[in-house]
Amino acid sequence: MATLELNIDQDVAQAPTRRGRRLGLLFWIAIGWVIFVFAVAIFADVLPLPSPTDMDMLEKRAPFSTAHWLGTDGLGRDELSRVIHGARISLVVGICAPIIGLTLGGALGMLAGYFRGRFESLVVGSMDVLLAFPPLILALAVTAYLGQSILNLTFILGVLGIPAFMRVARATTLTLARREFVIAAQALGATHARILLRELLPNVMLPLLAFFLLGVAVTIVVEGALSFLGLGVPPPISSWGSMIGEGRQSLEMAPRLAFIPAIAMFLTVLAFNLIGDTLRALTDPRQGAL
pLDDT tens digits, residue range 91-114?
998 899 999 999 999 999 999 988
Per-residue pLDDT of 228-281, as tens digits, reads 877 777 777 788 888 888 888 777 787 888 888 889 999 999 999 998 888 877
Under the phi-then-psi rule, with left for phi > 0, alpha for psi from -120 to 50, and beta for the rest, what region is 116?
Answer: left
Q: What is the pTM of this model?
A: 0.80
- Work out the average pLDDT over 4-8: 41
Element (H or E) spanning 141, and its range?
Answer: helix 135-146
Is the pLDDT higher at 18 or at 171? 171
Please count the CA atoms within 13 angstroms of the CA of 28 that sit on its side-chain side: 6
Q: Categorize the per-residue pLDDT at 284 as very low, low, confident or very high, splitting at 50, 70 and 90.
A: low
Quick one: average pLDDT of 135-142?
79
Burial per residue of 146-157, b for 16 or more beta-carbon CB atoms within 10 angstroms, e otherwise: eebebebbbbbb
Peptide bond into 236 cis (omega under 30): yes
Looking at per-residue confidence, does 87 or 250 come out higher? 87
The set of residues, in sequence order, having a beta carbon less than 8 Å from that of 225 and lying 6+ positions away, is 136, 241
CATH of domain 82-284: 1.10.3720.10
What is the tens place of the pLDDT at every residue in 30-66?
Answer: 999 999 999 999 998 888 888 787 787 777 777 777 7
What integer pLDDT is reported at residue 285 of this predicted model? Answer: 54
CA distance 70 to 72: 7
d(CA 86, CA 52): 9
Give the torsion sign (CA, 91, 97, 98, 99): positive
pLDDT tier at 14, thresholds 50, 70, 90: very low
Confidence of residue 212 (pLDDT cuts 50, 70, 90): very high
